[in-house]
Amino acid sequence: MKMMKLYLALLVFALQFNVVGVVLDKSLPSSKSKKALEVSIVPKNGIVVRSISSQVKIYVLGSTSFTEEMVDSKNKLCSLGFDGWIHPHYEAYVRGEMKDHLYRRNNGEEAALKRENDYFCEHYKRILESDAILFVNSEKNGIKNYIGGNVLIEMGQAYVNHKIIFLLNGMPSGLPYMDEIEAMDPICLFGDLSNIGKVLEVQLS
């Protein structure tokens, strides 16, 4: 009965978010402390996302303008039972630390900071270590659900490595690279992180 309810929930989510197929596998080994249910997602592009079991690791990314919301989303993921994580510098910014970075960021030195801290490679390594990526895309520069150049690069990195891509909000519109965003089939959560549970289900004994 539990399995049937889960399967129906996943089917509903698939229809809602244009996911073509969901594959359940009950053959995972179990331990005394934890029993996991394996879930594979087949997006519209036909790529079978690698199976995810046990606690799902979700890396949070987004424009630096959304730092506070990114840290908040990471904390909410953890409260929902996911292994949410984020680059430690974002949490340091929210705590009021690394003020020299913030000053330089706000005074035209963001490119230099990216080079000095190797952020492109650091984020890429964390993308590889994650099961899914959550991109925080709020309003910026008058554009609702904004996705900037950095996030577009990171989405591409996640996509070619078969990671599940979540957008915290809906799809943007009017950006010059909309075709590229749409081609990567991100799953929109419409502001509700609990929607992730309709795709990825972890059963604890």
The two three-digit tokens of residue 154, written as one number? 């990171």
48 within a domain of the structure (yes/no): no
Q: How far apart are CA 127 and CA 133, in angstroms?
A: 7
Contact 155, 165 (CB under 8 A): yes
Q: 197: which DSSP letter?
A: G
Contacts by 29-33, CB closer than 8 A, 24 or more apart: 30/205, 33/205
pLDDT in tens, the chain (205 residues): 444 444 444 544 454 444 443 333 333 333 322 223 344 444 444 444 444 445 789 999 999 899 999 999 999 999 998 999 999 999 998 989 988 887 887 778 888 888 988 888 999 999 999 999 999 999 998 999 999 999 999 999 999 999 999 999 999 999 999 999 999 999 999 999 988 987 765 323 2
137 within a domain of the structure (yes/no): yes
Report the number of distinct structural domains present in the chain: 1
22 within a domain of the structure (yes/no): no
5 within a domain of the structure (yes/no): no
Where are the alpha helices (H) located in 80-132, listed in sequence order? 88-94, 99-105, 110-116, 119-128
155 within a domain of the structure (yes/no): yes
* Residues in a beta bridge with 39: 24, 52
Kindly state the helix (H) or strand (E) to which residue 166 belongs, with its residue range: strand 164-167
The two three-digit tokens of residue 153, written as one number? 């690069």
Domain that holds residue 103: 55-196
